[in-house]
C-alpha cells in the first residue's frame, strides 16, 4: 500500500497518457502474451484537450505464473517521439525493456523490478524492491528501495552534459485501517523517505532529501 510513484517510474511503467491504443493477446492457464500499438508522443501541457496522433509505437509483454503466489513478466516497447527536454524542443525516441517478479502470499506482497531505457545513444537502468506486510488486518507496513541511473538533462544538471548520474531513494510507511462491516474500508497512512544523490550534484539538490507524506485510503472491505 504505497501511493507514492517511484522515482524510477519512467524506466518501469508504460508511458505517458496515450491518445490511442490497440491491444491483443493470447492466454493460457499459466501464461499470457500481449502486443500493443499506440501513440507514444507525450501530450502537450494543455491537459483539457485531445492530442490525437498515429499509432506509431509498439510494445509486447510475456507474463508467466509458475506458482499461484508468483508472477513474472518481461516487456519491451518502442516509443516514437516520446520525450522532449523543454517546450518546443526536439523530440526523441525511447526503447524500453522491463522485467519484474511479484510475490503475493497471505498478508505479504513483494515486488522486484528492473527497467532500462535506450535514448539518444545512451543506456540507463533502474532497479526497485518493495514490500507490504499486513498485520491483524488493520495495520500495514510498507517499504521501498530504489537505485536509478539518470541522464543529467533529466535532473536539470546542465553543467555536466551527457553525464549519467546514479540516484537512490529509501522509503517506509504505515497504514492504519478502521474496523468496518460496510462495503468500504477507510485507512490513514504516512511515509518518510530519503533521496540520495551523488556528491557532484549535492550543491544542486542539497545533499540528502528527506520527505514526509500523509494520505487517506478508501478500498473495498472484502
Q: Could you write out the three-class secondary structure of the chain?
A: CCCCCCCCHHHHCCCCCCCCEEEEEEECCCEEEEEEEECCCCCCCCCCCCCCCCCCEEEEEEEEEEECCEEEEEEEEEEEEEEECCCCCCEEEEEEEEEEEEEEECCEEEEEEEEEEEECCEEEEEEEEEEEEEECCCEEEEEEEEEEEEEHHHHCCCCCCCCEEEEEEEEEEEEEECCCCCCEEEEEEEEEEEEECCHHHHHHHCCCEEEEEEEEEEEECC
pLDDT at 51: 79
Distance of alpha carbon 106 from alpha carbon 113, whole angstroms = 21
Q: How confident is the model at residue 17 (pLDDT cuts 50, 70, 90)?
A: confident
Cell numbers 518502442: residue: 78
Has residue 124 been placed in a domain? yes
Has residue 2 been placed in a domain? no
Q: What is the CATH number of the domain that holds 118?
A: 2.40.160.10
> Per-residue pLDDT averaged across 52-67, rounded?
93
Angstrom CA distances, 209 to 156, 171, 177, stand at 16, 11, 29
Percentage of the chain surpassing pLDDT 70?
95
Q: What is the number of structural domains in the chain?
A: 1
Lowest mean pLDDT among 114-118, 156-160, 196-200: 156-160
pLDDT at 125: 96
Distance of alpha carbon 29 from alpha carbon 25, whole angstroms = 14
Asked if residue 132 has pLDDT above 80, the reply is: yes
pLDDT tens profile 166-212:
999 999 999 999 877 678 889 999 999 999 988 888 888 877 789 99
Has residue 1 been placed in a domain? no
Q: Which domain holds residue 96?
A: 9-220
Distance of alpha carbon 78 from alpha carbon 117, whole angstroms = 10
Has residue 3 been placed in a domain? no
Has residue 4 been placed in a domain? no
Has residue 25 been placed in a domain? yes
Entry pTM: 0.85
More confident call, 61 vs 155: 61
Polymer length of the chain: 222
More confident call, 94 vs 63: 63
Amino acid at each position: 500500500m504505497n501511493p507514492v510513484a517511484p522515482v524510477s517510474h519512467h524506466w518501469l511503467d508504460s508511458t505517458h497518457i496515450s491518445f490511442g491504443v490497440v491491444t491483443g493477446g493470447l492466454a493460457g492457464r499459466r501464461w499470457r502474451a500481449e502486443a500493443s500499438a499506440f501513440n507514444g508522443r507525450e501530450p502537450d501541457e494543455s491537459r483539457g484537450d485531445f492530442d490525437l496522433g498515429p499509432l506509431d509505437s509498439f510494445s509486447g509483454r510475456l507474463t508467466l505464473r509458475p506458482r499461484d503466489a508468483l508472477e513474472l513478466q518481461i516487456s519491451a516497447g518502442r516509443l516514437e517521439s516520446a520525450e522532449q527536454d523543454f517546450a518546443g524542443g526536439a523530440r526523441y525516441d525511447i526503447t524500453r525493456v522491463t522485467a519484474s517478479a511479484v510475490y503475493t502470499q497471505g498478508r505479504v506482497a513483494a515486488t522486484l523490478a528492473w527497467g532500462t531505457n535506450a535514448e539518444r545513444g545512451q543506456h540507463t537502468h533502474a532497479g526497485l524492491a518493495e514490500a507490504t506486510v499486513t498485520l491483524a488486518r488493520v495495520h500495514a507496513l510498507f517499504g521501498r528501495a530504489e537505485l536509478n541511473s539518470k541522464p543529467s538533462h533529466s535532473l536539470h544538471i546542465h553543467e555536466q552534459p551527457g553525464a549519467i548520474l546514479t540516484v537512490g531513494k529509501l522509503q517506509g510507511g504505515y497504514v492504519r485501517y478502521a474496523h468496518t462491516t460496510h462495503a468500504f474500508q477507510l485507512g490513514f497512512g504516512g511515509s518518510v523517505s530519503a533521496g540520495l544523490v551523488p556528491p557532484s550534484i549535492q550543491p544542486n539538490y542539497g545533499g540528502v532529501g528527506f520527505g514526509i507524506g500523509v494520505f487517506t485510503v478508501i478500498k473495498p472491505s472484502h
